[in-house]
Structure 1
């Protein structure tokens, strides 16, 4: 499935104002706002937060990368073009653990 098809199967984010990714000390290290151009990523991270009880770890990152589908290859060839994919790649590759706080 492609990214668009994956998004269609995820819960609504009509009530969501954004999402913060926080480190172990509660510091926001990444923010996804509810604005045009970021809504797909917000919907995907919201679904990850629901599925993995608000924790972003290796398994959650792998699921997120599967859902990002065709954007992963583009992110690998164009660093910093897809920061929300890049974050999942870092979590997976460096075995990081963060908290996902839906706003």
Structure 2
């Protein structure tokens, strides 16, 4: 079983981007993820699954949770500690979808 750091090594390079916005089904911005220390891993995971699935919905969220590896386990044990993972869990639970737009660095 791979860990988060190993999973990140396999994902697309996102150095050209500085910001990602997630839009809810109503078209409003529901979250912003910055490509900076502390959130760059989340940025890469969200970017990867959004490219593959055309956005972030329950199926993309399931894949993202696998990529987050040990952090997903920690998020389940400590709700609120990892808001970007909490959002994925909620997407699965409530069948919600987000469109994703990335902005240059």
State the TM-score bracket (shorter-chain normalisation). over 0.9
- Number of positions where the alignment pairs a residue of Structure 1 with one of Structure 2: 102
Shift of 1:99: 0.7
Flag as ranges the 4+ runs of structure 1 deviating above 2 A: none
Shift of 1:25: 2.6
Shift of 1:24: 1.9
Mapping for residues 1-103 of structure 1, pairs under 5 Å: 1-53=2-54, 55-103=55-103
Distance 2:21 2:77 in 1: 26
TM-score, normalization by structure 1: 0.94
C-alpha offsets along residues 39-80 of structure 1, whole Å, 9 cap, x if unaligned?
Answer: 111111111121112x11110000000100111111011111
Q: Which 5+ residue runs of structure 1 have no aligned equivalent?
A: none
Q: Which 5+ residue runs of structure 2 have no aligned equivalent?
A: none
TM-score, normalization by structure 2: 0.92
Q: Helix, strand or coil: the match of 1:31?
A: strand
RMSD: 0.9
